Chain A
Amino acid sequence: MAALTESQVDTRVGKVQVRLGGEHAGRPVVYLHSATGEGAFLPFLEQLADRVDVVAPAFPGFGESEGIEQIDDMEDATFHLLDLWDQLALDAPAVVGLSLGAWMAVELATRYPERVGALVLVSPVGLHIPDAPVGDIFGRSPGEMAEDLFHDQSHPMAQLMHSFDDYRSDPARMGELTFEMVKPVLQSMSATARLAWDPYLHDPKLRKRLHRVTAPTLVVRGAHDTLLPRAHAEVYASEIPGARLVELPDAAHLAPVERPEALVELVAAFLEGDGS
């Protein structure tokens, strides 16, 4: 697996962490992470970097990236991505986004279609679909969340999330939780709240703009995703021109975490074909 290198990029909102990997010809791939802020450690990215060049920024408010206090909503987020693209001399990269990151990618692709060369939307939020509500991410315990996010509850990240509930279920043990233990989650969820508290995980104007996407688009969903109903992936796939939908078995909401090999194959094949 190709190791990724850390670097920092100056943007208008502050320094942003970016991980880079691969030395390949062809379109680079930008990976936009989800509300969990995965990406600091994600074998998926290293495996993907064996096939294509990978650029994985941490959004402001996640990891060490600065400037979330200057970003109030998804519109600000979109403009931040444009700035980042310019700083990194990315013209029209392929974008692979997970959940919140996929939503961000679509916001960019509807407004500035010429800056997105290919689009892979994994478990994309961003839409409100009547009778297909998205599960709650802001009021539930980590253990409850893990049930929705993972097909395999024995995955190390799922196990970690369940372990937090052991503290929460016993108020007396709350005192054993240290700030360092909860800081990454607090930080990631605070940043996510800025973008997605209200309207909850969607942009009411996004759906009517999906027709503007010009990039070849692949929509991926985990077959066991209980957070995000299948209807969301279906709407994206049917209303983005030419998009298609693939369902990954043995995965729930976080396919890049749970099924990295299968997803790398899907993405690489897509980029070599439609998305090249």
Chain B
Amino acid sequence: MRFFSFHLMPYPALPDSYDGPAWVTVPNELFDPAVGHEVYNRYLDELVYAEELGFDGVCINEHHQNAYGIMPSPNLMASILARQTERVKIAVVGNALPLYDPPTRVAEEFAMIDNISNGRLIAGFVVGGGPEYYSFSINPAHAREKFAEAHDIILKAWTEPGPQEYVGKHYRLRFLNTWPRPVQQPHPEIWVPGAGSLETVEFVAKHRYAYMGIPYFHISVFDRMFKMFRDACQQEGYEAAPEQAGWLCPIFVAETDEEARRQYEEHFWYFVRRLLPGITINPPGYTSLRSYEGMMKGMGTFALSLKTWEEAMDGVYAVVGSPDTVYEKLEENLARLGTGNLLGLFQLGTLPADQVMPRLRQRFPDGEPMLDPALSKGAA
């Protein structure tokens, strides 16, 4: 079992008077650079701290023109982390490949991070969220084709000697010859986050990469998602290894269940009610009809439909409580899902600085510090 600290880097200061979506059209006048300066640096500190606590790695991701996660360039963050940490894996989950033209840029920047960190990069490739296709005016009907071509270009750039020619439908490169090459050979570990679309699951299974389940659904949706993934691996003629799957989940620990709820709930609802609206916008052609049919089953359980705290806890939208409660719930659900990677979100919504790092230091009943050795024992 590997433990990662994931940061979304949310914008925590949407004014109360604003009740629109947090994506695509959320007016950029609402962004206060003074807040930006403070939280970018604070959030980086929170990630760097994960190394001190014994985490296996840190995770960051890419989203554009939104308040949910103000990290349009995770590669900038990863390059800072490459210098400020020494041991942890740096998982960029991921770069939205169709947004890089030519996608050679991803091969270059990821290789740079892998060089600077001496082989600690986990390279995430993602199709990009629905909102990104509005924000960048990229045709969603070409999302999957572009993703597949960009992936091929990056792998060729990393693993085949250049210069070589690449001629595809969307990208044409007469001299593909990327400098630098990655430290990790033949290439860094590759992760692909997904929300259950069949195309993505089949792609990951085929290439034997790792599939990271995107959260904010009822836990039963994850059951279905990871079963789909394991089935797809079997179709490819092998059994999925636990390390090939990851569960992303908000986590908060306090002395007691009641105390945890008291400290966490308002920040959780800021995240759900202020930052999630707009994330589900589904541009036409982005999801195939056969995938859409399957994904509809989970849509009614998306976190936006949550009405009560009890519903959120029952559906494991977040794991919140005393050390005992959190330990048991994580153990139970990691076993249930069979995932070999836990991607914990320890900061969520407006959760302030004084509630993030101290909570990560919370000790479990056996005296072990948060997460690392204690949970590894339990869930292995």
Contacts and interface: CB of A to CB of B under 8 A. Distances in A.
Interface of A: 72, 138-139, 171-179, 182-183, 186-187, 189-194, 197-198, 200
A72 B145 CA distance: 12
B69 interface: no
B137 A200 contact: yes
B292 A197 contact: no
A172 B137 contact: no
Given A193-B285, A194-B141, A179 B293 contact: yes
Contacts of A187: 289
B300 to A, nearest CB: 3
A101 B301 CA distance: 38
B317 to A, nearest CB: 13
A193 B137 CA distance: 11
Given A179-B293, A198-B138, A138 B284 contact: yes
Report the interface size class on chain B.
20 to 34
Given A139-B134, A198-B139, A192 B305 contact: no
B313 interface: no
Contacts of A139: 24, 134, 281, 283
A178 B142 CA distance: 26
Nearest to B133: A197
Contacts, number: 66
A190 B290 CA distance: 13
30 contacts: A139-B24, A139-B134, A139-B281, A139-B283, A171-B304, A171-B305, A172-B305, A172-B307, A173-B300, A174-B302, A176-B300, A179-B293, A182-B296, A186-B284, A186-B292, A187-B289, A189-B285, A190-B285, A192-B284, A193-B139, A193-B140, A193-B285, A194-B139, A194-B141, A197-B133, A197-B139, A197-B140, A197-B284, A198-B138, A200-B137
Nearest to A190: B285
Interface in B125-141: 133-134, 137-141
A249 to B, nearest CB: 32
A46 to B, nearest CB: 29
A193 B141 contact: yes
A191 B299 CA distance: 23
Nearest to A173: B300
Contacts of A186: 284, 289, 292
Interface in B112-170: 133-134, 137-142
A171 B302 contact: yes
Contacts of B302: 171, 174
B299 A193 contact: no
A197 B300 contact: no
Pick the 10 closest A-B CB pairs, nearest first: A175-B300, A189-B284, A171-B305, A190-B285, A193-B285, A194-B141, A193-B284, A197-B139, A179-B293, A190-B284
A197 B304 contact: no
Interface in B192-251: none
B305 A174 contact: yes
Given A138-B284, A171-B304, A186-B292, A197 B141 contact: yes
A29 B285 CA distance: 31
A177 B296 contact: yes
Contacts of A174: 299-300, 302, 305
Contacts of A179: 292-293, 296
A186 B291 CA distance: 12
Contacts of B300: 171-176
A177 B282 CA distance: 15
Contacts of A191: 285
A197 B302 CA distance: 27
A131 to B, nearest CB: 20
Nearest to A189: B284
A198 B307 CA distance: 38
A192 B292 CA distance: 17
Nearest to A171: B305
A90 B140 CA distance: 34
Given A138-B283, A139-B283, A197-B137, 17 more contacts: A139-B134, A139-B281, A171-B302, A174-B302, A175-B299, A177-B296, A179-B292, A182-B292, A187-B289, A190-B141, A193-B140, A193-B283, A194-B141, A197-B140, A197-B141, A198-B137, A198-B138
Contacts of B140: 193, 197
Nearest to A197: B139
A263 to B, nearest CB: 28
Contacts of B139: 193-194, 197-198
A167 to B, nearest CB: 10
Contacts of A175: 299-301
B133 to A, nearest CB: 8
A15 to B, nearest CB: 17
Contacts of A190: 141, 284-285, 289
